[in-house]
Structure 1
Amino acid sequence: MGTVPLLSDDAVSAEALAVFDDIRKVRGTEYINNFWRALAHDPALLKATWERLKDVMAPGALDPLVKEMLYVAVSTANGCSYCVHSHTAAAKAKGMTPEMQGELLAVIGMAMQTNGLVTALQTPVDDMFEAEP
């Protein structure tokens, strides 16, 4: 159960509705997901989060599919079930195949295992991996 009610279009402020309209336009859908509806309680935070997300997830040096897959990996590490679900769906919509998802899960699992081992062992970082001053 959420900590705030999800706001319908009829219940949000004009500022939040403007963000919803932009989400619909950018994504080419009428659907506004629960994350945005929860954030709509704070229109300034809603707008700032949406603007930052559009910027970060836009095509750049990294392909949008790669960005979605990275989002899945970080969301897994952070234990965010909502984000794992929503960004897995987004990655699939951007072309992630079952084989790609399988490899992504293998990398996530491997990183979690080796991260746990190196953390438990408190292994010092090799000099060659340190940034030069």
Structure 2
Amino acid sequence: MVALDSLAPKVGALAALLLASIVFVPAVVISAPGSGVAEYYAAGPIGVSIVGVLALIDVVVFLAGGQERSDPVTLAGFALVAGLAMLLFSLLWAFSIDATLLFSFPAEYAWIQDHRWVVVTGTAIVAVAAGGFARGVMY
């Protein structure tokens, strides 16, 4: 059986990398001027870009902790705090987006209406992996 302290950082790094990619997909795919992408990212009190940045940092944290390049207990704690913060930030952002903004995108970008929930799900996966990593290195 694979130990939690060795599997969780790998899952967490992969999940965080996928999360960062998912967060920034609209900025890459929707390039039409005046399309509302900037407003979409800035919705709510802090926006969603912070989630993508923290996810990229968490990739490094998970990999460094999993390979014991630095203190795994400290890195697991950081990954857990960052994962929970990303979850809270993404929920705050997802519930703050104005429906008028979501439905203002052209029909070809209708997937953006579900994008926020995919981001929230991704942050939950990263947070669970971080919790598993923390549990694995503590016990």
Same fold, judged at TM 0.5 (above): no
Query: How does the TM-score come out when normalised to structure 2?
Result: 0.28
Ranked by relative contact order (alpha carbons within 8 Å, sequence separation 6 or more), the top structure is 2
Q: Which has the larger radius of gyration?
A: 1
Structure 1 or 2: larger helix share?
A: 2
